[in-house]
């Protein structure tokens, strides 16, 4: 826990931590208690040095509340949109402090209070780069080479393009070599990065080991465990061998690959492991039981590793997409249904990398994945079965 706080507070200079704590206090204690407990007649708010009283104060308080909530969140996550409004707002506060104290006849307090607050505003103005870690290309954050499994299409190909855009060289792997070569040529042409193609069946015994050996001479800094497939249908009707292949690809391969590539990242003190799980891994999914269970495995694997590696410089993220428009539905044997674009899903993942253990793409998927927090598990399982039933051909229901 203390390590968690050390890492969290270590992301910004001490004076920004002070401002964050002030914002959090104002957002969660001071402004709400003022809003709900101070009688209208006694309420007062200061804006740009002008004191509003009574209803004028009460009605403008929600805006203060919003500002401090945004400030607390923006400092906590070091959001790029904090610049420049945080410094402008702090200067406004400095001016207000000055006027307020002067009115009260405390000229020394007006000068010191106003100057100190203005100095914080100035420091914020100069700290633009600190809010813009995403401005640092992933290659500079983690290193040169990324390895993406399942790169011959869908989410994996979108990951490869996004990482190449961040100047990362890419190892592209899947079974369909022709597709990988076409993508490699595109990345080299469009982003001037190096590529390596390794065609391998990760569900075959020794597949993960073969892949690890093929990249032994490279420093893999970002590992994207993305290859996977679904298999929809009633459990009794599913083929045992295909289920076993799915377990091998969705669960065993990420464990073995991470086991092989993580030590290099640990030794270098930086790197990232991404695992593509699924929103289906957050709850039981009848008519897709085993697939959902493999993705629950991926989720627990990734979130556990995130905690083990927290503070080591190696970031771990589980990406949990909902329905996404790739070949997944056809391969799973699902009827075609709506979904998100893979590029968007990958953007969500790269934005969350280094920030949190897992991320669900899309608010609707977030609600569905968190349904077990709001309703009994039995109800959620039955409802999930109803949704799944619409997506499955009659012979597999
Ligand atoms: N699309 C969705 O709705 C959705 C939703 C939630 C989670 N996901 C997850 O997202 C990940 C990517 O899926 P996708 O949507 O991009 O589907 P996709 O378009 O079908 O891509 C799957 C990738 O996995 C590779 N792959 C399959 N079997 C393999 C094997 N035995 N060895 C090596 N590579 C293999 C495929 O390449 P080859 O066929 O060339 O080998 C392909 O590149 C999967 O883990 C999936 O579970 C997808």
Give the residue-averaged pLDDT of 100-129.
92
pLDDT of residue 134: 60
Query: How far apart are the CA of 249 and the centre of ligand 1, in A?
Result: 10
pLDDT of residue 133: 61
Percent over 70 (pLDDT), the chain: 98
Separation between Cα atoms, residue 52 and residue 60, nearest integer Å: 9
pTM for the full predicted model? 0.82
Give the residue-averaged pLDDT of 243-262.
98
Model confidence over 42-52: pLDDT tens digits?
998 888 888 89
Q: Would you call 291 a catalytic residue per the annotation?
A: yes
Give the residue-averaged pLDDT of 313-318.
97
Instruction: Pick the residue whose CA is nearest to atom 25 on ligand 1.
Output: 150
pLDDT of residue 135: 62
Separation between Cα atoms, residue 49 and residue 98, nearest integer Å: 8
Model confidence over 365-384: pLDDT tens digits?
998 888 888 888 888 888 88
Q: Which sequence spans correspond to the domains of the chain?
A: 2-133, 136-396
Model confidence over 328-362: pLDDT tens digits?
999 998 888 889 999 999 999 999 999 899 999 98
Rg over CA atoms, the chain: 26
Ligand 1, closest atom to CA 203?
Answer: 31
Architecture of domain 136-396 in this structure: 3-Layer(aba) Sandwich (3.40)
Minimum mean pLDDT range among 104-108, 202-206, 294-298:
104-108
Q: What share of the chain is helix, strand, coil (3-state, %, to 5)?
A: 60, 10, 25
Give the residue-averaged pLDDT of 199-208.
97
Separation between Cα atoms, residue 77 and residue 64, nearest integer Å: 20
Buried b (16+ CB within 10 A) or exposed e, 228-238: bbbbbbeeeeb
Neighbouring residues of 207: CB distance < 8 A, sequence distance ≥ 6: 200, 201, 253
Query: How far apart are the CA of 288 and the centre of ligand 1, in A?
Result: 16
Minimum mean pLDDT range among 46-60, 102-116, 124-138, 142-156:
124-138
Separation between Cα atoms, residue 231 and residue 333, nearest integer Å: 7
Residues with CB under 6 A from ligand 1: 150-156, 174-176, 201-203, 226-230, 249, 276, 278, 321, 323-324, 326-328, 331, 339
Token digits for 361?
Answer: 């793409």
Which residue of the set 25, 68, 291, 364 is catalytic? 291
């Amino acid at each position: 826990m203390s390590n968690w706080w050390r890492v969290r507070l270590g992301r910004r200079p001490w004076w920004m931590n002070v401002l964050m704590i002030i914002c959090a206090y104002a957002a969660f204690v001071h402004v709400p208690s003022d809003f709900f407990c101070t009688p209208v007649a006694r309420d007062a708010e200061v804006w740009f040095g002008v004191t509003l009283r009574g209803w004028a104060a009460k009605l403008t308080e929600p805006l203060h509340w919003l500002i401090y909530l945004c400030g607390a969140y923006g400092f906590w996550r070091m959001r790029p949109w904090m610049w420049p409004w945080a410094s402008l707002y702090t200067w406004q506060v400095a001016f207000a402090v000055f006027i307020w104290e002067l009115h009260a006849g405390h000229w020394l307090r007006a000068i010191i209070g106003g100057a100190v607050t203005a100095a914080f505003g100035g420091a914020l103005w100069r700290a633009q780069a600190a809010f813009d870690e995403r401005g640092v290309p992933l290659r500079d954050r983690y290193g040169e080479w990324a390895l993406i499994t399942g790169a011959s299409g869908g989410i994996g190909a979108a990951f490869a393009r996004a990482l190449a855009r961040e100047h990362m060289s890419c190892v592209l792997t899947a079974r369909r070599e022709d597709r990988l070569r076409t993508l490699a040529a595109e990345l080299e042409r469009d982003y001037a990065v190096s590529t390596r193609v390794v065609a391998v069946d990760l569900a075959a015994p020794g597949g993960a080991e073969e892949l690890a050996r093929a990249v032994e001479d490279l420093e893999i800094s970002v590992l994207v465990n993305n290859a996977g497939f679904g298999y929809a249908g009633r459990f009794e009707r599913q083929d045992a061998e295909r289920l076993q292949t799915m377990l091998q690809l969705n669960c065993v391969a990420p464990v073995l690959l991470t086991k092989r590539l993580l030590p290099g990242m640990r030794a270098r003190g930086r790197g990232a492991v991404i695992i593509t799980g699924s929103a289906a891994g957050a709850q039981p999914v009848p008519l897709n039981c085993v697939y959902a269970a493999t993705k629950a495995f991926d989720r627990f694997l990734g979130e556990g590793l995130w905690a083990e590696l927290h503070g080591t410089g190696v970031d771990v993220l589980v990406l949990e997409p909902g329905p996404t428009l790739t070949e997944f539905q056809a391969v799973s044997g699902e009827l075609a249904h709506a979904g998100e674009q893979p590029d968007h899903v990958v953007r969500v993942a790269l934005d969350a990398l280094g920030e949190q253990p897992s991320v669900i793409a899309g608010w609707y998927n977030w609600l569905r994945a968190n349904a077990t927090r709001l309703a009994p598990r039995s109800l959620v399982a039955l409802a999930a079965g109803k949704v799944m039933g619409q997506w499955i051909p009659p012979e597999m229901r």
